[in-house]
Homo-oligomer: A and B are copies of this chain.
Amino acid sequence: MACSIEIICVGTELLIGKTLNTNAYWLSKRITSLGGKVARITVVSDDVSEIASSVKEAVRRKPRFLITVGGLGPTFDDKTLEGVAKALRCKLEIDDEALKMVTEKYHVYVEEGRMEKAELTPPRVKMAKLPEGAKPLPNPVGTAPGVIIECEGTTLVALPGVPPEMMAIFEESVASILRQAAGDVTFFETSIDVTGVVESEMAPIIDRVMHDNPYVYIKSHPKGGEGISKIEFHLSTTAENSNIARKYISKTLVQLSGMVLKKGGKIKPVKTET
């Protein structure tokens, strides 16, 4: 069974079109490459009720992992852990390990001359207030720790929204447990560009090829509209190992290419990733 994952991105900046959601893009790509299956991405504002209801709804769908991104910093608009606590009906409490992590960071900043005082003001302590039962994940490049907590069979991970911090915590503390949960599976994808056949003419071809190759997902991406007949076909599969995955894709490509050429179309490879 696939290891299903949901992502919740918290940030009003994503809903007013100030920020392009590159975090969701990076995480989806990375999770897929680790053998996980991203089932849904939800974007909500910096609002405790919105965060809480989206977390509650996601947990009810029982994904293996739920990853939140954003809202872990020291300012008033960082409300993710408050929302998570509300969703899980638990309290926020100062976590000793998290407080130690935060304290050490400020001492380093002072030593490096980046600031004058390392004192633990309330906004700094806030970053160490975790939902009951949660554990902090070290932040190798920033201040706010990540958070991990188990909840009804779902592992909830909260990551900060600053991209290098999100990526660093994911790589250091999340990638390995996710790969283990996904088991021995490999994702493999490839793309071809087809010219000379329009998308509506390709529809029955794809139907046939998908039917004969049930493990391969084919998606058509028209480039430049139905009238201009250039379409990218993206083939992807998840299999026990990369040999089997490549075999699935090769077999599918041979059949698809044969049918396209018969229709008078032309084929060009786009790129291959492992």
Q: Is the interface of A mostly helix, strand, loop or mixed?
A: mixed
Q: A12-B219, A14-B41, A17-B25 are in contact. Are A124 and B75 (CB under 8 A)?
A: no
Closest to A228 in B: B114
Q: With A13-B221, A24-B43 as known contacts, state yes or no: A18 contacts B203, CB within 8 Å.
A: no
Nearest opposing residue in chain B for A160, CB measure = B222
Q: Which residues of B contact A200 (CB under 8 A)?
A: 74-75, 121, 123-124, 143
Bound CA span A220–B121, Å: 18
CB distance from A39 to the nearest CB of B (A): 7
Q: In the complex, how many angstroms separate the beta carbon of A53 from the nearest chain B beta carbon?
A: 9
Contact of A225 among B19, B121, B165, B221 (CB under 8 A): B165
On whether A109 and B227 interact (CB within 8 A), knowing A13-B219, A123-B203, A203-B74, the answer reads yes
- Residue A90 at the B interface, CB < 8 A? no
Instruction: State which residues 212-241 of A face B: CB under 8 Å.
Output: 217-222, 225-229, 234, 236
Copies of this chain, count: 2
Contacts of A25 in B (CB 8 A): 17, 19-21
- B143 engages A227 (CB within 8 Å): yes
Known A200-B124, A220-B73: A20·B20 in contact at CB below 8 Å = yes
Contacts of A108 on B, CB cut-off 8 Å?
A: 227
**Which residues on B sit within 8 Å (CB–CB) of A114?**
198, 227-229
Counting chain B CB atoms within 10 Å of each CB, which of A38, A73, A187, A219 scores highest?
A219
Instruction: Tell me which residues across on chain B come within 8 A of A32, comparing CB atoms.
Output: 15-17
Indicate whether A274 reaches chain B with its CB closer than 8 angstroms: no
- The residue among A12, A17, A30 with the most chain B CB atoms within 10 A of its own CB is A17
Q: Is the CB of B225 within 8 A of A142?
A: yes
A221 to B46, CA, bound (A): 13
Report the contact-size class of chain A (Cβ under 8 Å from the partner): 35 or more
Q: A77-B219, A227-B143 are in contact. Are A30 and B17 (CB under 8 A)?
A: yes
**A62 interface contact, C-beta 8 A:** no
Residues of chain B with a CB closer than 8 A to A27's CB: 17
C-alpha spacing A141/B200, complex, angstroms = 16
Asked whether A206 and B13 contact (CB < 8 A) given A18-B234, A124-B200, A143-B226, the answer is no
- Check if A29 sits within 8 Å of B17, measured CB to CB: yes
Docked CA distance A204–B122 (Å): 9
Residues of A within 8 A of B (CB): 11-22, 24-33, 37-46, 50, 54, 57, 73-77, 105, 108-109, 112, 114-115, 121-124, 126, 141-144, 162, 164-165, 187, 189, 198-204, 206-207, 210, 217-222, 225-229, 234, 236
